Amino acid sequence: MQTLILHPDCSAGPIRSVSGNIEATQQGCKARFRLDGDISKIKIPVHAPSERMDNLWKTTCFEIFWQPDGGQYYREFNLSPSSRWACYDFDDFRLNSRDAPVQAISVACAHDADQLQLEASIASSLPLPAKIALNAIVEDVGGHIQFWALAFDTGKPEFHSEVCRALHLENIK
């Protein structure tokens, strides 16, 4: 698992640590995220039918950014603990956002008092080698948002920044 860091402008909250892992597969990829801390003090979207939905990032959510080497194009996945998901393609930094094609996305989430785990299996065309970002948005019950990533650019939290794509995937496992 890769350790995500809290953006320096965010206050400490009920979550002590966030980690994530991703591996390329023949069908696309598999990812896993884990939050450690006082899970009762964060907002967890209620389970819902697995379907594409916008604005998942407005509360607790996990994100993957996938950028093939040598280009400006990238794909963004939003994965909610509710099992809802979103997938967008961009031609360049926040340019020409549109729904991306996917064959299937399944999201499973489980939690107890001290830990929340989300696992996702994504069937989508994902070229390799690629630069990858693993991100988390965590909203506490008071409405405060924390931003977690592998790396951050200076300034406000911006998950679309190439700096966040700090993981490199070469091969299918």
What's the rounded Cα separation, in Å, for the pair 131 and 124?
A: 16
SS3 163: helix
DSSP of 102-155: -SEEEEEEEE-SSEEEEEEEEES---SSEEEEEEEEEEBTTS-EEEEES---SS
* CA–CA distances in Å: residue 143 to residues 13, 41, 82: 11, 10, 18
What's the rounded Cα separation, in Å, for the pair 23 and 2?
A: 12
Where in the sequence is the domain holding 159, given as residue range(s)?
A: 2-169
Q: Positive or negative CA dihedral for 50, 55, 60, 66?
A: positive
Which CATH number do you get for residue 67?
2.60.40.1190
Give the number of domains in the chain.
1
pLDDT tens digit sequence for 32-91: 999 999 999 999 999 999 999 999 999 999 999 999 998 899 999 999 999 999 999 999
pLDDT tens digit sequence for 5-40: 999 999 989 999 999 999 999 999 999 999 999 999
pLDDT tens digit sequence for 96-136: 889 998 999 999 999 999 999 999 999 998 999 999 999 99
Q: Positive or negative CA dihedral for 1, 106, 52, 92?
A: positive
Q: Which of 99, 61, 65 is nearest to 83 (CA)?
A: 61
Task: Specify the pLDDT at position 173.
Answer: 65
Q: Give bridge partners of residue 29 from the DSSP assignment.
A: 24, 122
Half-sphere exposure of residue 20, counting CA atoms within 13 Å on the CB side? Answer: 28
